[in-house]
Amino acid sequence: MKTTAPADIDGRYAWTRLVVSVLIATIGSVGMWSVVVVLPMVQNEFGVDRADASLPYTMTMVGFAVGNVWLGRIVDRAGSIFLPLVMAAAALFVGYVLGAMVSSIWVLALLQGLIGFGASATFGPLIADLSHWFVKRRGVAVAAAASGNYFAGAIWPLLMQITLHDEGWRFTYAAIGVFCLLTMVPLAFLLRRPAPHLAPSAAGTPAATPRTHAIDLTPRALQILLAVAGIGCCMAMSMPQVHIVAYCVDLGYGVARGSEMLSLMLVGGVVCRLASGFIADYIGGVRTLLIGSVAQCAALFAYIPFDGLASLYVVSFVFGLAQGGIVPSYAIIVREYLPAREAGQRVGLVMMATIVGMAVGGWMSGWIYDMTGSYAAAFWNGIAWNMLNIGIMAMILLRTRPGRGASAKPA
């Protein structure tokens, strides 16, 4: 086994690993966003209502949730992200290619679950793996890796427009599957080195010592609170992210304008994620997440009165700026409070909770639309869930003891 020198932590190799991780995340995270772009086309082709048309997205999030936990556990046990990434590339290839051939919305939904499973390796497990290679700049590194998800959201909807208009969504899906397989597997070989806390250093001791905060909560209680908070913030987050394209179609602006707003939203998210990483290195993950959650709630309020084309562009960008740093902050919090050897599984569990929020929230927004005929009530539903997240994070902050010390108190 290759030894890990102290210089590798926060060193040149760590930053090289970060660049490769961001590239892989940008490619593989297409699995989260492609179904959002094709949602109106799928609804028209299969002749279903908005709630049923949202089911493929919901199943994508289910697969994404399961994959974050299961593949995260593999990362903890194997000490490397290599195998999960190869499995992810295969799942994306099979899911997209078979998805291009389906004749039923229900079969498409099942295959979207496989696509979501593949995409999951490029989020929670990849972030957990990368977090072991940084101490001083962990916040920046985690935020940058998580930004690959938003790079995908900003880039792929625009790339898909190249073939969607002339070739249709089925051809586009098949092309995406082939591209993922041909690019992700070679890149995965660059990340085969085991995590520093597993690989022996030159002195024969673990290469990194995790930094933690002390809190008046057991690890289990903290894990549960983070999970509930994750559901709350992402129930709110899902409304614009999942339905912005359909919302623009309803308002008469078309799919292309909605895709541009989604991309603009996620560009703002990338900016926010990178900035939040720098902020988290100074004030911690909990405070960073709380700031983002409050800002996201304010942006959701702004969607209700402003539905003009120009104003929607502005609000979507502001929403992206507000919420981009929320999800990666959970990974930072896990590494600040909980053991490094459990990072993959614990980060995966929290990410699973956020994905459950996105999945249920995406479906619920469609259901509310079907019941009311508009998205106004769906925005208010998101605001209520956002307030739950704010309350939980404020409580965690109040239970945190000053200074650094042991992690969450023993059960």
Structure confidence by residue, pLDDT tens digits, 64-86: 889 988 898 888 887 789 999 99
> Which of the four pLDDT bands, split at 50, 70 and 90, describes residue 25?
very high
How many residues are listed for the chain in this entry? 411
Q: What is the pLDDT of residue 203?
A: 44
Quick one: average pLDDT of 115-136? Answer: 88
CATH architecture of the domain covering 6-404: Up-down Bundle (1.20)
For residue 298, pLDDT beyond 60:
yes
**Taking a C-beta distance cutoff of 8 angstroms, is the pair 237, 323 a contact?**
yes
**Among 15-24, 55-64, 82-91, 93-102, which is the least confidently predicted range?**
55-64
pLDDT of residue 21: 94
Residues 158, 263 contacting (CB under 8 angstroms) = yes
Would you state the pLDDT for residue 362? Answer: 80
Residues 232 and 229: their CA atoms lie apart, in Å, by 5
More confident residue, 308 or 100: 100
C-alpha distance from residue 348 to each of 170, 214, 230, 258, 368 (Å): 31, 22, 12, 31, 29
Q: What value, to the nearest 5°, has the Cα angle with vertex 74 and ends 17 and 353? A: 90
Tell me, what's the pLDDT at 82? 92
Lowest mean pLDDT among 145-149, 208-212, 261-265: 208-212
pLDDT for the residue 151: 83
Whether the pLDDT of residue 104 is over 60: the answer is yes
Give the Cα separation of 145 and 138 in Å (integer). Answer: 11
The tokens describing 60, both together, are: 């994508």
Our measurement of the distance from residue 100's CA atom to the centroid of its chain's CA atoms, rounded to an integer in Å, reads 24
3-class state of residue 261 by DSSP: helix
pTM of the complete model: 0.74
DSSP 182-218: HHHHHHHGGG-SPPTTTSB-TTSSBS-----EEESS-
Q: Are 304 and 348 in contact (CB under 8 A)?
A: no
Which residues face 215 on adjacent strands?
Answer: 400, 408
Residue range 164-209, pLDDT digits in tens: 888 888 999 999 999 999 999 999 999 988 877 565 544 444 444 4
Q: Where are the domains of the chain?
A: 6-404
Structure confidence at residue 202 (pLDDT): 45
The answer, yes or no, to whether residue 240 has pLDDT greater than 50, is: yes
Mean pLDDT for all residues in the chain = 83
Q: Name the range with the highest mean pLDDT among 57-71, 149-163, 176-190, 324-338.
A: 176-190
Strand partners, 49: none
